[in-house]
């Protein structure tokens, strides 16, 4: 083994990592330096040893919380309850000690109860598909409520010299909370960068589906991204998964990842069905004297064509689904508008993607809503539906033909 080569490789990686960090965080670092210089001018004692240690002591607790919260953020989640759970654990620990419990047992029990709160968050999020924001907001208020009820709104003191030393003591002139923070930071760096668990966190945060196929338990992780090292000359192939709302999904795919859909059969099938749906909504609608039943029939015939056809042919589609020459002209004009608006080109012929048909079908509405009294579900056979007008009642009506009631 060539030790010199290994050491050189390691030093090169470290150098590259430091350089990358400074490049990516240059604005923050410059702002931080300006802030420090400004404070040192305003307060001459700012850069003294005592003040720096005092600042580090004050931020130590928040640093510890931030280090733990980093794991939740890496996997695409959030935890609003960390502060309340910290107060909950701290209160119980002080209460146990003031009641005479052994220091080690009190600290261990407080840590365990705090961890159980975190476990509760994880289980609810993993097995109910509820957003982490909602779950942790709820447990935050639960923890706060327990603290207020348990302490009756009063502070609880732990009169134990060893416990007090652990919180406010010094080691080699450095406050112990600061040492705890640096130790915790080092442990976190090792976990995330050098352990299997850390790699699993990044994998799940990048692509949930890929992580699951890799044997990782990905219960309730809502974002996924897997980059395939192929077709790099045209842009890498990327597989994504997103369970968040549509606004977040657009940011995740378009703004953050900068992705564009592959113009494959799924792309063609999906966009042609969207074209059909938009055509009905924007052109083939009631504003142009098209009855709602006819609109639903057009949607039904469109989706039925794609469900039955292995290969899409635009001329056959127009002939079988659109049929009317005037409507065909309107459809062609709208297709040109749709392509220009969405900056894409739909092919006249392509293999139908069944998965795209399945995905788009759920957005096709089949319900005919009549005032607030009736909902009629139409799945085909428009010829058995007639619309009319009753002049005596001054109301519209639909006449339905059927063989038997189910």
Domain end call among 188, 210, 239: 188
Same domain, yes or no: 121 and 214: no
| Residue percentage of the chain with pLDDT more than 90 | 2
- Average the pLDDT over 351-378 and give the result: 74
Same domain, yes or no: 303 and 252: no
Instruction: Kindly give, in sequence order, each residue whose CB lies less than 8 Å from that of residue 73, ignoring residues fewer than 6 positions away.
Output: none
Count Cα atoms within 13 angstroms, Cβ side, for 17. 7
pLDDT grade, residue 51 (50/70/90)?
A: confident
Same domain, yes or no: 30 and 119: yes
- Average the pLDDT over 196-208 and give the result: 65
| 34 vs 22: CA distance, rounded Å | 16
DSSP type of residue 283: T
pLDDT grade, residue 251 (50/70/90)?
A: low
Contact, 227 vs 236, CB < 8 A? yes
Question: Is 313 within a domain?
Answer: yes
Question: Is 242 within a domain?
Answer: yes
21-28: Cβ within 8 A, 24+ apart: none
The pLDDT, as a whole number, for residue 374 is 67
Question: Is 193 within a domain?
Answer: no
Q: Which of 242-246, 294-298, 330-334 is the most confident on average?
A: 330-334
The pLDDT, as a whole number, for residue 4 is 42
Token readout for 27 is: 């604005």
Question: Is 87 within a domain?
Answer: yes
pLDDT grade, residue 160 (50/70/90)?
A: confident
238 bridge partner residues: 227
Question: Is 195 within a domain?
Answer: no
Beta strands in 172-236 (DSSP E): 174-175, 223-228
Contact, 141 vs 124, CB < 8 A? no
| Residue percentage of the chain with pLDDT more than 70 | 78
CA distances from 391 to 182, 230, 366, 388, 395 (A): 83, 67, 28, 10, 7
Same domain, yes or no: 349 and 278: yes
Same domain, yes or no: 182 and 274: no
- Average the pLDDT over 32-45 and give the result: 83
- Average the pLDDT over 247-256 and give the result: 60
| 58 vs 52: CA distance, rounded Å | 10
Give the structural domain span for 10.
3-188
- Average the pLDDT over 270-287 and give the result: 87
Domain end call among 129, 156, 188: 188
| 195 vs 362: CA distance, rounded Å | 42
Q: Is the pTM of this model over 0.75?
A: no
Q: Which of 67-81, 173-187, 199-213, 389-403 has the lowest mean pLDDT?
A: 199-213
Contact, 260 vs 329, CB < 8 A? no
Render pLDDT for 304-363 as a digit per residue (tens, 0 to 9).
888 888 999 999 988 888 888 888 898 999 999 988 888 888 888 999 988 888 888 777
Same domain, yes or no: 216 and 141: no
Instruction: Kindly give, in sequence order, each residue whose CB lies less than 8 Å from that of residue 47, ignoring residues fewer than 6 positions away.
Output: 36, 40
Token readout for 399 is: 């006449």
Same domain, yes or no: 184 and 90: yes
Question: Is 196 within a domain?
Answer: no
- Helix, strand, or coil (residue 222): coil
CA distances from 368 to 102, 131, 374, 379 (A): 71, 33, 8, 11
Contact, 81 vs 136, CB < 8 A? yes
Residue 276 or residue 201, greater confidence: 276
CA 359 to mean position of chain CA atoms: 19
Token readout for 160 is: 């134990």
The pLDDT, as a whole number, for residue 351 is 92
Residue 88 or residue 203, greater confidence: 88
Radius of gyration of the CA atoms of the chain, in A: 32
Same domain, yes or no: 129 and 174: yes
- Average the pLDDT over 49-67 and give the result: 81
The pLDDT, as a whole number, for residue 6 is 39
Q: Which of 51-55, 166-170, 234-238 has the lowest mean pLDDT?
A: 234-238
What does the mean pLDDT of the chain come to? 78
| 259 vs 246: CA distance, rounded Å | 15
Q: Which of 119-128, 137-146, 207-216, 330-339 has the lowest mean pLDDT?
A: 207-216
* Closest-CA residue to 294 (of 323, 317, 258, 268): 323
pLDDT grade, residue 89 (50/70/90)?
A: confident
Same domain, yes or no: 67 and 126: yes
Same domain, yes or no: 394 and 291: yes
pLDDT at position 143 over 60? yes
The pLDDT, as a whole number, for residue 48 is 81
For the chain, what is the domain count?
A: 3
Same domain, yes or no: 273 and 246: no
Question: Is 194 within a domain?
Answer: no
Domain end call among 188, 210, 236: 188
Question: Is 13 within a domain?
Answer: yes
Same domain, yes or no: 215 and 181: no
- Helix, strand, or coil (residue 36): helix
């Amino acid at each position: 083994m060539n030790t010199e080569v290994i050491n050189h490789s390691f030093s090169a990686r470290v150098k590259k990592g430091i350089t990358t960090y400074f490049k990516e965080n240059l604005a923050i670092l410059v702002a931080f330096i300006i802030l420090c210089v400004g404070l040192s001018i305003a307060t001459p004692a700012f850069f003294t040893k005592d003040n720096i240690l005092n600042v580090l002591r004050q931020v130590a607790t928040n640093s510890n919380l931030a280090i733990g919260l980093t794991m939740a953020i890496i996997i695409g989640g959030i935890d609003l309850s960390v502060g309340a759970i910290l107060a909950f654990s701290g209160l119980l620990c002080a209460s146990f000690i003031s009641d005479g419990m052994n220091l080690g047992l009190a600290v261990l029990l407080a840590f365990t109860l705090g961890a159980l709160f975190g476990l509760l968050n994880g289980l609810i999020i993993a097995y109910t598909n509820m957003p982490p924001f909602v779950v942790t907001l709820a447990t935050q208020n639960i923890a706060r409520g327990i603290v207020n009820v348990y302490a009756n709104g009063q502070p609880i003191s732990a009169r134990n010299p060893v416990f007090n030393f652990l919180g406010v003591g010094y080691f080699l002139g450095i406050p112990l909370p600061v040492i705890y923070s640096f130790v915790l930071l080092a442990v976190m760096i090792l976990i995330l960068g050098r352990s299997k668990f850390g790699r699993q966190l990044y994998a799940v945060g990048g692509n949930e589906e890929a992580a699951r196929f890799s044997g990782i338990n990905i219960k309730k992780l809502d974002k996924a991204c897997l980059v395939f090292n192929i077709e790099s000359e045209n842009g890498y192939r990327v597989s994504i998964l997103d369970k968040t709302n549509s606004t977040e999904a657009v940011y995740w795919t378009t703004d953050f990842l900068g992705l564009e859909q592959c113009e494959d059969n799924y792309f063609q099938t999906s966009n042609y069905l969207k074209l059909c749906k938009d055509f009905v909504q924007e052109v083939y609608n009631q504003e142009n004297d098209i009855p709602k039943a006819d609109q639903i029939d057009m949607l039904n015939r469109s989706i039925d064509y794609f469900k039955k056809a292995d290969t899409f042919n635009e001329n056959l589609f127009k002939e079988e689904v659109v049929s009317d020459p005037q409507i065909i002209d309107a459809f062609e004009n709208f297709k040109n508008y749709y392509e220009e608006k969405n900056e894409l080109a739909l092919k006249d012929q392509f293999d139908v993607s069944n998965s795209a048909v399945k995905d788009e079908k759920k957005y096709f509405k089949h319900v005919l809503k009549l005032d607030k009294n009736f909902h009629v579900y139409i799945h085909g056979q428009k010829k058995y539906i007639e619309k009319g007008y009753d002049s005596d009642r001054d109301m519209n009506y639909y006449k339905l033909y059927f063989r038997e009631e189910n």
